[in-house]
A and B are shown apart, each in its own frame.
Chain A
Amino acid sequence: MTPAPIHYLVVSALLFTTGVVGVLTRRNMLVILMAIELMLNGANLAFVAFSRMHHQLDGQVVSVFVMTVAAAEAAIGLAIVVQLFRQRGTVRVDETTLLRG
Chain B
Amino acid sequence: MLTAIVFYILATLCVVTAVLTVTLANPVTCALSLIACLMCLAGLFAQLSAGYVAILQVLVYAGAIMVLFLFVVMLLNLTREEADEGTFGTARALTSLVCVAFLLDLYVFVDAAVGTRDFTEALEGFGSLAGVGEALFSRYLVPFEVISLLLTAAVVGVVAITRRQLSVSKASEPLKVAR
| Chain A residues at the B interface, C-beta cutoff of 8 Å | 1-11, 13-15, 17-22, 24-28, 30-31, 33-35, 37-38, 41, 44-45, 48-49, 51-53, 55, 57-58, 60-61, 63-65, 67-76, 78-83, 85-86, 90-92, 95
Contacts and interface: CB of A to CB of B under 8 A. Distances in A.
Contacts of A13: 103, 106-107, 110
Nearest to A92: B81
A18 B21 CA distance: 9
Interface of B: 1, 3-4, 7-8, 11, 14-15, 18-19, 21-22, 27, 30-31, 34, 37-38, 41, 44-45, 47-50, 52-53, 56-57, 60-61, 64-65, 68-69, 72-73, 75-76, 78, 81-82, 85, 91-92, 95-96, 99-100, 102-103, 106-107, 110-111, 114-115, 117-120, 122-123, 126-127, 131-132, 135-136, 140, 143, 147, 150-151, 153-155, 157-158, 161-162, 164-165, 168
Contact of B135 (A4, A28, A57): A57
A71 B158 CA distance: 12
B134 to A, nearest CB: 9
Contact of B68 (A11, A19, A78): A78
Nearest to A85: B76
Contacts of B65: 37, 70-71, 74
